[in-house]
């Protein structure tokens, strides 16, 4: 349940060609350390362009985050994406809601995120494909740093 289906160095490694070959038409995407630095209100360099390329290629996107609406709504609006806030990842209910917002069968959806114990576990429980990316920034809260150490017991990430 903790193993991702796929691994990429960043969201930019998740390409249209890769998604088409994998039968993925919709992405459920985490914010913190996936599309932006932790608590940064703006997308990381290249993230906005990646979102636009996905959209132009026919890939549907939805933001999912454990953060509250005050963090998630402005970020999602900046990118013009639907969102699920206060998701309580890894519980599957919010993943099912994100799949419904995408309007696709769950088999055609994938979760893209940087954490095994929330993003990948939740996506696997919910029955969507999972794509693990490296975190954008190493400056993280102590509890996330602890989880990163535990993650190393389960998986070796690709080096930058």
Please count the structural domains in the chain: 1
What confidence tens digit (pLDDT) does each residue in 142-158 have? 666 666 566 776 776 55
pLDDT of amino acid 138: 63
Residue 110: how many CB atoms within 10 A of its CB? 25
Residue 16: how many CB atoms within 10 A of its CB? 14
**Residue 160, domain member (yes or no):** no
**Residue 45, domain member (yes or no):** yes
Portion of the chain with pLDDT greater than 70, in percent: 87
pLDDT of amino acid 96: 97
**Residue 65, domain member (yes or no):** yes
pLDDT of amino acid 38: 87
pLDDT of amino acid 112: 98
**Residue 1, domain member (yes or no):** no
The token pair that represents 47 in the structure block: 């993230």
Which is more confidently placed, 47 or 149?
Answer: 47
**Residue 13, domain member (yes or no):** yes
Containing domain of residue 73, as a range?
Answer: 6-154
Q: Which residues pair with 80 in a beta bridge?
A: none
Residue 24: how many CB atoms within 10 A of its CB? 24
**Residue 159, domain member (yes or no):** no
Report which secondary-structure segment, H or E, holds 74: helix 69-79
Strands 26-29 and 60-64: parallel
Look at the pTM and tell me if it is higher than 0.85: yes
d(CA 8, CA 74): 27
pLDDT of amino acid 160: 44
Give me the CATH number covering residue 146. Answer: 3.40.50.1000
Max CA distance (Å), the chain: 38
pLDDT band, residue 39 (cuts 50/70/90): confident
d(CA 64, CA 98): 7
């Amino acid at each position: 349940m903790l193993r991702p289906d796929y691994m990429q160095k960043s969201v930019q490694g998740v390409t249209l060609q890769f998604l088409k070959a994998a039968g993925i038409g919709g992405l459920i995407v985490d914010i913190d350390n996936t599309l932006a630095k932790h608590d940064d209100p703006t997308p990381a360099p290249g993230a906005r362009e990646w979102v636009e390329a996905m959209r132009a290629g026919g890939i549907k996107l939805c933001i999912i985050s454990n953060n509250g609406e005050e963090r998630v709504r402005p970020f999602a609006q900046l990118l013009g994406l639907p969102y699920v806030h206060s998701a309580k990842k890894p519980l599957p209910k919010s993943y099912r809601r994100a799949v419904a917002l995408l309007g696709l069968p769950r088999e055609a959806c994938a979760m893209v995120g940087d954490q095994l114990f929330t993003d990948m576990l939740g996506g696997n429980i919910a029955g969507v494909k999972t794509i693990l990316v490296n975190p954008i920034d190493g400056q993280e809260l102590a509890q996330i740093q602890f989880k990163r150490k535990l993650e190393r017991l389960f998986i070796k990430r690709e080096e930058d």
